[in-house]
Amino acid sequence: MMTLKVNGRDHRIDADPDTPLLYVLREDLKLNAAKFGCGLGQCGSCTVIVDGKAVLSCVTPLLLLEGKQVTTLEGLGSIEAPSPIQRAFIEEQAAQCGYCIPGMMMQAQALLQRNLRPSDEQIRAALEPNLCRCGTHMRILRAVHRAAALMQTADASTAQGSAQ
């Protein structure tokens, strides 16, 4: 039995320590945004954020996560109140089949948490582990830039409000 902190909440998990995080997220916690793509850490469909870093949950065993914060796409926002990255992907219509998009969004979120002004090359490098066959790459790139702008605006508003 271990405690796993996911999306800000503690969950008691009774699973083998070698169990991949993806299985616990989908089967035990019913968080289905992270997808099972290849099971080998080669496609990025299962990407989540662990302590601010993009991680492939299909190859990350539970034993490495004790005391760490796991964030899934469900933890970023909701249908009623989407996060900037979710909103940007919707507005840019960056999803086609949608299978890879949760992983792309989480990889982009991790990048934007480190760098709110990424270049096209930095975005491409960050998203390189994520495979997509649909051909929406240019819309995905625009969505990441849009999310960065939304996050910059939110940061500026927060800073301005605290200065008053």
Q: Which residues contact 154 (CB under 8 A, 6 or more apart)?
A: 84
Half-sphere exposure of 117 (CA within 13 A, CB side): 3
Over the stretch 6-43, which tens digit does the pLDDT of each residue have?
Answer: 999 999 999 999 999 999 999 999 999 999 999 999 99
**151 alpha-carbon distance from chain centroid:** 15
Predicted structure pTM score: 0.91
Over the stretch 58-109, which tens digit does the pLDDT of each residue have?
Answer: 999 999 999 999 999 999 999 999 999 999 999 999 988 888 999 999 999 9
Residue 45 buriedness (CB in 10 A; 0-12 / 13-18 / 19+): buried
Q: Is 49 helix (H, G, I), strand (E, B) or coil?
A: strand
